[in-house]
Amino acid sequence: MECDTSHSLIERKKKNYTTPIEYPRDWALLIRNTGKMKPFIVTDMDRNNVSDFANLFMKKLQLRTINNNNEPFPLGWLRFHRDQPGLLLYKTSMDENEEVKSICSLRNGRLVELTVPLKYSTRHPMFTEKKKDLVDLLPFVSPAYHQFYRKHPTSNSAANALDDTTENEEY
């Protein structure tokens, strides 16, 4: 996969990286400094930048398998723009020279009012056990970041946390 090369570059950079990674933003700095010929572009996002499209595709939109030119729709890059409701722009890879294609996702070709809700209204909680493990590791983290980990919300519900996976598992 294309992302394997990117992950490999990041892992190699991490091996020689002398700055400690103690906070999520530290990963962003490392990734920004990776890739000599073609640096990575890292966009800082917060929960107000994450939209929930799942309900739109269940009710108002339809995810199609062919694009507007009757070509197959293998997804690699996706963009939904508020000025063009119902039109999804996409590429089949992350190659910046690849042509951007489009697909109409309107049901029966009718334009409807589309309101895309935010995916998260509050900070996303982690499992209580995971937070306990992180707090146990705080002696190895700069005191400037302790509050970030101590104040992070927790939940015992599996619905509020992603499943842990290992590198060897297939998806």
Sorted by where each begins, the domain ranges of the chain are 1-44, 51-109, 121-163
Question: Considering the entire predicted model, what is its pTM?
Answer: 0.54
Determine the Cα–Cα distance for residues 128 and 133; give it in Å rounded to an integer. Answer: 9
Check residues 12 and 48 and name the one with the higher pLDDT. 12
Q: So what's the pLDDT on residue 87? A: 79
- Mean pLDDT taken over the chain: 79
Provide mean pLDDT across the span 65-69. Answer: 75
Separation of CA 71 from chain center: 27
Q: Which residue has tokens 């009718």? A: 110
Give the span between the Cα atoms of 77 and 75, in whole angstroms.
6
Higher pLDDT, 38 or 3: 38
pLDDT, average across residues 18-45: 88
